[in-house]
């Protein structure tokens, strides 16, 4: 192998590692997914041409080839102990009093870290290279999941900087962000697979899979939170250790902080009671540690947990009510979900009367029965869930048994023995048809006024529509529409007018409405901006789609599969024959508009428009819309109830706009939001 090839290979490896760090650790990517994939392909080609250059720590070697034979166990270099829990500020004050008494101090400094709802792991590095990753296991031994952890690009295979430690062990939490978990579940449901119950269970299952190529597809992240034997590395405090890990290129939670004394610690905990609702990941409390490692050593351990740390659990928002009945809900992909119908109760300012029961297994595990008094919980924007039965709460009904037939169409239900989900596999099931049509007409899609759940129910029950394309033939059946109960002549005229207007809706809205897997509002915008017309997109193969910024292999495959499938071609043909001519994307303005080259992030609720509308208008004015804040963000547009993106903008010194400022900028670009469809 020539020295030139060797230098090029090493240069590419370093460059890819840098981009991995920028994207997965820092959160400030410099290149598109397409550009990254090209770099990775160039490196793989060079390594294939020069097999003697192969290195197990190369970015191309993150995913093992073939299935793993199983997981061996390995002993932890130091026990992984759990922290004691405290559930009130009074208990936390008592913890502080014990610490001060044992140390003989009047005041103690604490490190405060969000308690991420994930799976604890230990990572080992030798000479700066990642060599082993273990689960917590029983605290003394854990499963060796090194191959799976290597697929996480937020875990560097090589540490950064000079004077790297000869040996280093760090510990952290692998987790899934709420939004990524939701998108993953949507993709699974679209693919006919069962949705996961929660991010933590999904994370646990992902890390124990034997196929690393499948693990690599899961949206796993990591935050590192401790250094084993920190004194070996000259570290004096927990906050110092967190900063040191960051300098090594390890991903550390930016929301970590410190508090001097109990009064300051209490204020931090009180702020987190509301701040936690804006986090992109699940958390049920704070991890509080004595900051000084010398003080930690002096405090020592009990038989089960350290005396220098405690987990402060947030207060839960619970209410007691009665389980009136259990109904079955059939989704647009056929999954049948049992839903608890509750005696209405107010929780966090909202009247709650329904909550999901997930599946038959969950009902059996918690033994929910009609007539039970049950406890429900809701936190922030989280969907209410039924926690438990109140013992001795009265007369109980019989055990719930999932029916064998679809409650809507009567088709025999099917359940994979390896999954919890039960499905109706009839694609013409009215419940599935209803859901797909409602999505097609929803505000974020084609926004067809008057076409909500009730109207769709009437249309499907009357046999007037079997899919969304049938909507464009309803004008031929106006006389039958008027005959439908509660649909008067005026309502019918308004509905038909709304359907007619939707024929020339913007292309991105139509793409979002169709419901192609992985194509939400943002991706639909990107595709419309690049291809301009439905015809051009429908003829684009995977290679052409991969040329589009933000479009990776999974999305490209999904889009091409739809447009080249018989069902997809037939659906588009029927739309076209009915006169659907989506508005072509005006690409010239976007290239030279007054917001060209500027990136915006949207957060909170806007009063005069939806966030989808705002994103579309910004792009028409030449700007870009991103989902994450970085130093390259021009401005964050904040509505009411903004999330953590606003906090990050202030930290980075990024300009913050309100809605009137955005409207003024759009007006200068010749775009008036008020004239856009609502």
Considering the domain architecture, whether residues 192 and 283 belong to the same structural domain is answered as yes
Count of residues making up the chain: 678
Is there a domain that residue 374 lies in?
A: yes
* Beta strand pairing call for 655-657 and 85-86: unpaired
Tokens matching residue 657: 């706009």
- Close Cβ partners of 303 (under 8 Å, ≥ 6 residues apart): none
Is there a domain that residue 561 lies in?
A: yes
- Residue for token pair 């191309």: 60
Is there a domain that residue 563 lies in?
A: yes
Considering the domain architecture, whether residues 251 and 173 belong to the same structural domain is answered as yes
Tokens matching residue 584: 């072509």
- In percent, the amount of the chain with pLDDT more than 90 equals 36
Considering the domain architecture, whether residues 498 and 532 belong to the same structural domain is answered as no
d(CA 566, CA 578): 18
> Of 293, 313, 333, which marks where a domain is finished?
313
> Of 291, 313, 335, which marks where a domain is finished?
313
Phi-psi region of 597 (alpha: psi -120 to 50; beta: other; left: phi over 0): left
Considering the domain architecture, whether residues 165 and 30 belong to the same structural domain is answered as no
Residue 675 pLDDT level (bands cut at 50, 70, 90): very low
Considering the domain architecture, whether residues 151 and 292 belong to the same structural domain is answered as yes
Cα dihedral 203, 206, 212, 216, rounded to 10, equals -50
DSSP one-letter string for 260-297: EHHHHHHHHHHHHHHHGGG-SS-EEEEEEEESBHHHHH
Please give the residue that has the higher pLDDT: either 511 or 197: 511
Show the domain range for 543. Answer: 507-577
Q: Select from 317, 318, 327, 314 the least CA-distant residue to 374.
A: 318
Please give the residue that has the higher pLDDT: either 316 or 651: 651
What are residue 77's phi and psi, to 5 degrees? -70, -25
Count of domains in the chain? 6
DSSP one-letter string for 473-508: GGGGGHHHHHHSTT--HHHHHHHHHHHHHHTTSBHH
Residue 155 pLDDT greater than 90, yes or no: yes
> Of 502, 522, 550, which marks where a domain is finished?
502
Instruction: List the catalytic residues.
Output: 115
Is there a domain that residue 223 lies in?
A: yes
- Residue for token pair 């008027």: 482
Is there a domain that residue 66 lies in?
A: no
Predicted local confidence at residue 220, as pLDDT: 95
For the segment 233-284, what is each residue's pLDDT rounded down to a tens digit?
999 999 999 999 999 999 999 999 999 999 999 999 988 877 887 788 888 7
Predicted local confidence at residue 380, as pLDDT: 39
CATH code, domain carrying 399 = 2.40.50.140
Please give the residue that has the higher pLDDT: either 444 or 336: 336
d(CA 510, CA 503): 9
Please give the residue that has the higher pLDDT: either 144 or 416: 144
SS3 575: helix
Residue 495 pLDDT greater than 70, yes or no: yes
Over residues 45-60, mean pLDDT: 80
Please give the residue that has the higher pLDDT: either 137 or 29: 137
Considering the domain architecture, whether residues 647 and 552 belong to the same structural domain is answered as no
Mean pLDDT for all residues in the chain: 84
Q: What is the pTM of this model?
A: 0.49
Predicted local confidence at residue 138, as pLDDT: 75
* Beta strand pairing call for 119-126 and 129-135: antiparallel
Q: Select from 635, 639, 582 the least CA-distant residue to 610.
A: 639
Residue 487 pLDDT greater than 70, yes or no: no
**Cα end-to-end span (Å), the chain:** 62
Over residues 177-204, mean pLDDT: 81
Considering the domain architecture, whether residues 149 and 250 belong to the same structural domain is answered as yes
Min mean pLDDT across 18-22, 308-312, 542-546, 658-662 is at 18-22
Q: Select from 670, 650, 672, 597 the least CA-distant residue to 254.
A: 650
Predicted local confidence at residue 361, as pLDDT: 86
Considering the domain architecture, whether residues 498 and 512 belong to the same structural domain is answered as no
CB burial class (10 A; 0-12, 13-18, 19+) of residue 540? Answer: buried
Please give the residue that has the higher pLDDT: either 520 or 448: 448
Considering the domain architecture, whether residues 197 and 268 belong to the same structural domain is answered as yes
Is there a domain that residue 40 lies in?
A: yes
d(CA 140, CA 76): 6
For the segment 263-275, what is each residue's pLDDT rounded down to a tens digit?
999 999 988 877 8
Is there a domain that residue 416 lies in?
A: no
Q: Select from 383, 385, 307, 304 the least CA-distant residue to 340.
A: 385
Predicted local confidence at residue 1, as pLDDT: 64
Predicted local confidence at residue 127, as pLDDT: 94
Min mean pLDDT across 450-464, 581-595, 599-613 is at 581-595
Predicted local confidence at residue 347, as pLDDT: 66
Helix H segments across 21-163?
A: 33-49, 89-103, 146-149
Considering the domain architecture, whether residues 136 and 270 belong to the same structural domain is answered as yes
Residue 419 pLDDT level (bands cut at 50, 70, 90): low
CATH code, domain carrying 541 = 1.10.150.20
Over residues 442-447, mean pLDDT: 83
CATH code, domain carrying 16 = 1.10.287.610
Predicted local confidence at residue 457, as pLDDT: 84
Considering the domain architecture, whether residues 132 and 161 belong to the same structural domain is answered as yes
The answer to whether 99 and 91 have CB atoms below 8 angstroms apart is no
Please give the residue that has the higher pLDDT: either 370 or 547: 370
Tokens matching residue 608: 């005069």
CB burial class (10 A; 0-12, 13-18, 19+) of residue 566? Answer: exposed
Predicted local confidence at residue 105, as pLDDT: 94
Considering the domain architecture, whether residues 206 and 304 belong to the same structural domain is answered as yes
Min mean pLDDT across 160-169, 399-408, 612-621 is at 612-621
């Amino acid at each position: 192998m020539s020295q030139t090839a060797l230098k090029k290979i090493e240069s590419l490896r370093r460059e890819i590692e840098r981009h991995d760090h920028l994207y997965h650790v820092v959160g400030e990517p410099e290149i598109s997914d397409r550009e990254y994939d090209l770099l990775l392909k160039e490196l793989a080609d060079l390594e294939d041409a020069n097999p003697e250059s192969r290195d197990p720590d190369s970015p191309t070697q993150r995913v093992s080839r073939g299935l793993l034979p199983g997981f061996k166990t390995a002993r932890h270099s130091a026990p992984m102990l759990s922290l004691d829990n405290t559930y009130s500020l009074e208990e936390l004050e008592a913890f502080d009093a014990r610490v001060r008494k044992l140390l003989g101090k009047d005041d103690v400094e604490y490190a405060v870290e969000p308690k991420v709802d994930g799976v604890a792991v230990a990572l080992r590095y030798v000479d700066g290279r990642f060599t082993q990753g273990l689960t917590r296991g029983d605290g003394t031994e854990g499963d060796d999941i090194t191959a799976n952890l290597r697929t996480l690009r937020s875990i560097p295979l090589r540490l950064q900087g000079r004077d790297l430690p000869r040996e280093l062990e760090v510990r952290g939490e692998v987790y899934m962000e709420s939004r990524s978990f939701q998108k993953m579940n949507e993709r699974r449901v679209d693919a006919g697979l069962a949705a996961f119950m929660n991010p933590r269970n999904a994370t646990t299952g992902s890390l124990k899979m034997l196929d690393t190529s499948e693990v690599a597809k899961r949206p796993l992240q990591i935050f590192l939170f401790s250094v084993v034997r920190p004194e070996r590395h000259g570290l004096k405090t927990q906050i110092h250790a967190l900063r040191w890990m960051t300098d090594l290129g390890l991903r550390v939670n930016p929301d970590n902080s410190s508090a001097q004394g109990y009064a300051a610690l209490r204020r931090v905990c009180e702020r987190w009671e509301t701040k936690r609702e804006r986090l992109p990941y699940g958390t049920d409390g704070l991890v509080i540690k004595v900051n000084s490692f010398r003080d930690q050593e002096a405090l020592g351990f009990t038989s089960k947990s350290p005396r220098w740390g405690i987990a402060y659990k947030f207060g839960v928002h619970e209410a007691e009510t009665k389980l009136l009945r259990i109904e079955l809900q059939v989704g647009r992909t056929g999954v049948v979900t049992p839903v608890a119908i509750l005696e209405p109760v107010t929780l966090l300012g909202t009247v709650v009367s329904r909550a999901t029961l997930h599946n038959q297994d969950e009902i059996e595990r918690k033994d929910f029965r009609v007539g039970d008094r049950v406890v429900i919980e809701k936190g922030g924007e989280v969907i209410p869930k039924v926690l438990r039965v109140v013992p001795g709460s009265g007369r109980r009904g019989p055990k719930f048994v999932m029916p064998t037939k679809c409650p809507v169409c009567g088709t025999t239900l099917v359940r994979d023995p390896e999954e919890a989900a039960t499905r109706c596999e009839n694609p013409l099931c009215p419940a599935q048809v209803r859901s797909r049509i409602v999505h097609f007409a929803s505000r974020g899609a084609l926004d067809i006024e008057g076409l909500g759940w009730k109207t769709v129910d009437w249309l499907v029950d009357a046999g007037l529509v079997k899919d969304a394309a049938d909507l464009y033939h309803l004008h031929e059946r106006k006389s039958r529409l008027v005959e439908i109960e509660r649909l008067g002549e005026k309502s019918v005229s308004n509905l038909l007018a709304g359907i007619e207007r939707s024929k020339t809706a913007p292309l991105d809205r139509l793409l979002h409405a169709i419901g192609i897997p992985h194509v939400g509002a943002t991706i639909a915008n990107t595709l419309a901006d690049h291809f301009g017309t439905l015809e051009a997109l429908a003829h684009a193969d995977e290679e052409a789609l991969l040329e589009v910024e933000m479009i990776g292999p999974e999305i490209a495959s999904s889009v091409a599969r739809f447009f080249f499938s018989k069902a997809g071609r037939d659906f588009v043909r029927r739309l076209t024959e009915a006169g659907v001519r989506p508005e072509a994307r005006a690409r010239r303005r976007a290239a030279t508009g007054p917001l060209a080259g500027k990136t915006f992030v949207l957060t909170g609720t806007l009063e005069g428009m939806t966030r989808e509308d705002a994103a579309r208008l910004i792009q028409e004015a030449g700007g870009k819309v991103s989902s994450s804040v970085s130093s390259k963000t021009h401005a964050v547009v904040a509505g009411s109830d903004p999330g953590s993106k606003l906090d990050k903008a202030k930290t980075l010194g990024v300009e913050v706009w309100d809605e009137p400022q955005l409207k003024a900028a759009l007006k200068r670009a010749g775009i008036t939001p008020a004239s856009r469809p609502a």
